[in-house]
Amino acid sequence: MKLRVVLVLLIAVVSAVLVNAWVVTDTARAAQPFGGGHVLELDGPDLNVREYGPPGERAVVLLHGYSASIEWWEEVAPLLVDGRRVIAVDLVGHGGSEAPREAAPYRPEGQAEAVREALDALGVRRAVLVGHSMGGAVAAALADRYPDVVERVAVSDTPGAADLVAMPLLGKMVCWPVIGPTLDRFRTVDAITESSLQTGFDAEYPVPAFAHRSLERLTYAGVCDSKESSRPPVADTLAALGKPVLVVWGETDVLTPTAPNVTRYTAAGMSPRIIAGAGHSPMVEKPAEFVSAIADFVARR
């Protein structure tokens, strides 16, 4: 009798985990305005964007990193205007943009296609791309696919190769089959979230509230499918563009460790500019220094 009870309980637990996995992984979300932006209805996933400065066919386009949103550019975007059009884009599944069930739109190439649709809808014919972390991989893919649209590319703390990311164990486990969706239920637990998000900043920098908001906006598909590494390595793609490229890096970055990534980019012919006192997110931690590092670059034609 006891064995039967144990078996029944075990079956119930396994069934609950499997049902939870199915429910979590099957979630999707429609686009909605977020972070002061507005939604563009596109053929592919609808994207939420925020515009700064005057209209025009040329724009500086800001692409945030994994689990982030357009809110991460709020300090930097106004400083970059100076008579220019600046557009911050919520990538697929992030912020206010649509979160589909399919995996392909979350990959760098899929994200690049979505951004290209958004730029076309906004009347942008020439773009300077500024990508942070995952956003740099999207920028590289976009520049590679649409060289006539992209003038130049600046990336910040974007891993030069797939093996140059120090992803925490919990961040890996959340995407494991079956157990991952169950762990994802704890994504909104403050203690766990705070510890995870701190790797995105210098150890002494307080995790901002918008970092929590951005993470909470992700569906399970956004959490896991957006982690797909770019192939070939971003450093090689950028080096082969034949366009001006600027790389900047936070001095104390532990998520995409500074030393090995700087070495990787330098070997590919690019020498990163180091922003002192900043971790993985210099545009948030040191906005004035970040703008100073890229201002001349984005202003050139």
Residue 63: how many CB atoms within 10 A of its CB? 30
**pLDDT score of 134:** 96
Number of structural domains in the chain: 1
pLDDT tens digits, one per residue of 183-217: 676 666 565 678 889 999 999 999 999 999 999 89
Name the residue range of residue 289's domain. 2-299
Structure tokens at 246: 């600027």
Alpha-carbon distance of 159 to 255, in angstroms, equals: 9
State the maximum Cα–Cα separation within the chain, in Å, rounded to a whole number.
Answer: 79
Helix (H) or strand (E) holding 246: strand 245-250
Find the DSSP H helices in the chain: 2-25, 77-81, 108-121, 134-145, 169-173, 179-184, 190-198, 209-217, 220-225, 234-239, 258-267, 282-285, 287-299
**pLDDT score of 13:** 36
**pLDDT score of 177:** 76
> Is 0.85 surpassed by the pTM of this model?
yes
Percent of the chain predicted with pLDDT > 90:
71
Residue 129 pLDDT class (50, 70, 90 cuts): very high
**pLDDT score of 289:** 98
Q: What b/e string do you get for 233-246 counting C-beta neighbours within 10 Å, with b at 16 or more? A: bbbbbbbeeeeebb
- Average pLDDT over the chain, rounded to whole? 88
Judged by DSSP in three states, 231 sits in: coil
Alpha-carbon distance of 186 to 178, in angstroms, equals: 15
Cβ contact 65:140 at 8 Å: no
Residue 9 pLDDT class (50, 70, 90 cuts): very low
Helix axes 108-121, 134-145, angle to 10 degrees: 70
Strand-pairing partners, residue 59, are: 85, 127
| pLDDT over 50 (residue 14) | no
CATH number where 276 lies: 3.40.50.1820
**pLDDT score of 19:** 37
Task: Name 90's Cβ contacts closer than 8 Å, sequence gap at least 6.
Answer: 34, 35, 37, 47, 48, 49, 64, 69, 70, 96, 97
Task: Name 198's Cβ contacts closer than 8 Å, sequence gap at least 6.
Answer: 207
| pLDDT over 50 (residue 22) | no
